């Protein structure tokens, strides 16, 4: 592979595969360097693809959402309705808003590795060359014009300020014991809970499918926000988040499934400034931070941002109408605005959140648009 029509992509992430198919469709010769992570039942990475992400990925792969869901999870683990609910001490759950479709799924949850494995399989079927090799240096890549790193491990990435805040997340598959309101079969819920100490826990429970944990037909994730510098508090809240996951699962009639083998905890930086794409020393385009939605894992938009950023980048490379960094920035501007609004809403003090719960019309344009 040589010449200006070639692209080498490192890492088979959602961004990597979407970019590969977008460029190939536009006549580029593409090679993807990807070493899939070893099979592991633990829920590492994002598990829920929301409708907008499914649509962007399906369009890039020239298929439809139903076929894509079939390829990812055998058409299981999807849902057609999501209720956002609010809870505070000594109160039940109050519904803030509902997002739903009558016939079509609005989301799908499965283990992240299965999502990227399906995208890999579909990309190979389209004839994309995949080299199973770990690349850690730009010098290992062929001398093609477009060299793109989706792993952030090639070095030389543009400098941006260190994140000030983190999203702390704990997630695991769950088994249904006896579903309790506000959870119901086929429904996803997003509880925002204020505990006795005023800590806000934003959670998400959805239907789920993973052949590696066949007994688990539900998935739960609990998140909160912490200062990156508060290491001790982060450790304390990490343990607390696990307890919250177990407690909320029980409250909804679920049980966390085999947590020793499946439960995962993550700390995800909240981006304050989105870096340019091009690494100054190597000329490689580094996408992980440039494709961030802002705060991932709270608004189900990490993979959506990756897919949308990848398609915009592919189009910019192929058409040369817009500088790639600007094209990506434009494509993600609205999504980042809504992510910031979601962060603000989930940071409200309780009285303000209660007011928002009473006036869902105020939050709907922010939380439901583009779902
Ligand atoms: C706890 C948590 C919950 C989240 N929840 C959601 C959610 O509900 N919805 C959502 O949309 N997003 C969510 N996100 C965000 C989403 O997971 C990420 O935005 C996205 O998966 C980022 O993927 P990645 O960059 O980690 O790459 P991955 O998806 O992990 O893919 C990287 C690939 O590259 C390979 N690779 C790595 N290094 C190299 C190398 N040097 N050479 C070759 N190959 C290599 C890896 O093996 C892997 O195959 C969540 C994230 C976390 C942590």
Contact between 154 and 286 (Cβ < 8 Å):
yes
Closest residue CA from atom 45 of ligand 1: 11
The DSSP symbol for 308 reads H
Query: For 105-141, what is each residue's pLDDT tens digit?
Result: 999 999 999 999 999 999 999 999 999 999 999 999 9
Closest C-alpha among 346, 306, 314 to residue 50: 306
**If you count DSSP H runs as helices and E runs as strands, how many of each does the chain have, helices first?**
10, 16
Q: What is the pTM of this model?
A: 0.95
pLDDT score, position 3: 44
Is residue 169 lining ligand 1, measured as CB closer than 6 Å?
Answer: yes
Q: Is the CB of 249 under 6 A from ligand 1?
A: no
For range 65-88, the mean pLDDT: 94
Distance in angstroms (rounded) separating the CA atoms of residues 266 and 167: 8
Q: Give the distance (Å) from ligand 1 centre to CA of residue 259.
A: 21
For the chain, list the domains and their CATH numbers. Answer: 6-79+110-161+273-347 (3.50.50.60)
Residue 359 Cα to chain centre, angstroms: 28
Arithmetic mean of pLDDT over the chain: 93
Confidence class of residue 94 from pLDDT cuts 50, 70 and 90? confident
């Amino acid at each position: 592979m040589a010449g200006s029509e070639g692209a080498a992509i490192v890492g088979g992430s959602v961004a990597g595969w979407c970019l590969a198919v977008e460029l190939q469709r536009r006549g580029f010769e593409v090679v993807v360097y990807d070493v899939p992570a070893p099979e592991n039942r633990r829920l590492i990475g994002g598990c829920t693809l929301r409708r907008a992400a499914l649509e962007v990925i399906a369009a890039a792969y020239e298929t439809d959402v139903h076929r894509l869901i079939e390829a990812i999870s055998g058409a299981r683990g999807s849902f057609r309705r999501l209720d956002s609910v609010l809870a505070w001490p000594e109160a039940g759950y109050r519904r803030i808003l509902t997002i739903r479709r009558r016939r079509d799924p609005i989301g799908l949850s499965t283990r992240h590795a299965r999502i990227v494995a399906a995208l890999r399989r579909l990309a190979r079927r389209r004839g994309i060359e995949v080299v199973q090799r770990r690349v850690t240096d730009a010098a290992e890549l062929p001398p093609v014009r477009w060299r793109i790193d989706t792993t952030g491990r090639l070095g030389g990435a543009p400098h941006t300020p260190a994140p000030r805040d983190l999203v702390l997340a704990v997630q695991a598959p769950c088994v249904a014991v006896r579903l309790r309101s506000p959870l119901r079969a086929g429904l996803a819920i997003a509880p925002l809970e204020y505990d006795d100490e005023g800590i806000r826990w934003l959670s998400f429970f959805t239907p789920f499918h993973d052949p590696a944990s066949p007994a688990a037909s539900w998935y739960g994730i609990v998140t909160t926000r912490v200062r990156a510098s508060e290491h001790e508090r982060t450790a304390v809240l990490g343990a607390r988040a696990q307890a919250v996951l177990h407690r909320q699962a029980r409250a909804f009639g679920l049980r966390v499934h085999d947590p020793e083998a499946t439960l995962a905890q993550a700390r995800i930086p909240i981006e304050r400034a989105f870096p340019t794409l091009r690494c100054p020393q190597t000329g490689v385009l580094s996408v992980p931070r440039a494709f961030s939605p802002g705060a991932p894992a709270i608004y189900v938009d990490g993979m959506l941002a990756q897919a949308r950023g990848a398609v915009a980048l592919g189009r910019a490379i192929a058409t040369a109408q817009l500088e790639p960094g600007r094209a990506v920035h434009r494509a993600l501007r609205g999504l980042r605005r809504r992510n910031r609004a979601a962060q603000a809403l989930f940071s409200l003090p309780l009285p303000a959140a209660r007011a928002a719960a009473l006036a869902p019309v105020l939050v709907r344009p922010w939380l439901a648009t583009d779902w």
